[in-house]
Structure 1
């Protein structure tokens, strides 16, 4: 079980890097080419959500992305440090309460195996895709 971990400061410009790295690692892990766009979009959405939560909550910690090549699945975890208690109910001009809901709806449409958890210590989005049977035999 190989793991690639990426940590980045909560800046929107780092989301593109996370998408590119995720797509490259997913391809190497054996995720079917037809699904790579979904992986790229899902990682972008999850990372954008984490960056937004950090920025709205004034959290300075890093966003963590773990890319795990399991035996039959490719797992991605996006973890933020913006706990429920750090994001103000009225977060200012750039806060859009529907943005988070929309982002989660997009993820639900892109990823069949999706788990979203959130607590006072931060949030975690766990997504996985099947690995191609052909890739397992190579």
Structure 2
């Protein structure tokens, strides 16, 4: 299992870099080319959400992105440093999926849940985490 860890200052201009790195690692991991745009968009939404949460809660800690390459799937975890996830009830996908989404936070979660089949949002005392994963194709053997 290979893992790439990316930490960046909670500034909007760094979200593009996170998207590019995520797409490059996803491609190397074997994620289907047709899905790479969804990976980029989902990572962009998750990172933008984390940057917004950091700004609105005056959190100086960096945004954390883990890119995890497994045998059969590629996962991305985007973590913010907001204790309790800015209201644990507001971070669940239930609100985003039911159409009761209010504000940019819930809208971002709705977009992510529309792009990614396997997504989980959690909140804890160390901050919130959005976990997303995509299947990978086995590496082609070159003769």
State the TM-score, normalized to the length of structure 1: 0.87
Corresponding residue for residue 80 of structure 1: 80
Q: Secondary structure at the match of 1:76?
A: strand
Is 1:43 aligned to residue 43 of structure 2?
Answer: yes
The answer for unaligned runs of 5 or more in structure 1 is 88-96
Q: Secondary structure at the match of 1:84?
A: helix
Corresponding residue for residue 3 of structure 1: 3
Instruction: State the alpha-carbon separation in 2 of the partners of residues 3 and 10 from structure 1.
Output: 21
Number of residue pairs matched by the alignment: 128
Give the CA deviation at 1:70. Answer: 0.2
Corresponding residue for residue 126 of structure 1: 131
Instruction: State the alpha-carbon separation in 1 of the partners of residues 68 and 5 from structure 2.
Output: 8
State the TM-score, normalized to the length of structure 2: 0.84
- Give the one of 105, 108, 118 matched to 1:100: 105
Query: Contact 1:9 / 1:61 at 8 angstroms: preserved in 2?
Result: yes
Corresponding residue for residue 28 of structure 1: 28
Instruction: State the alpha-carbon separation in 2 of the partners of residues 58 and 5 from structure 1.
Output: 23
Instruction: State the alpha-carbon separation in 2 of the partners of residues 86 and 41 from structure 1.
Output: 22
Query: Contact 1:59 / 1:86 at 8 angstroms: preserved in 2?
Result: no
Give the CA deviation at 1:119. Answer: 2.5
The answer for unaligned runs of 5 or more in structure 2 is 88-101
Q: Which moved more, 1:27-36 or 1:77-86?
A: 77-86
Corresponding residue for residue 64 of structure 1: 64
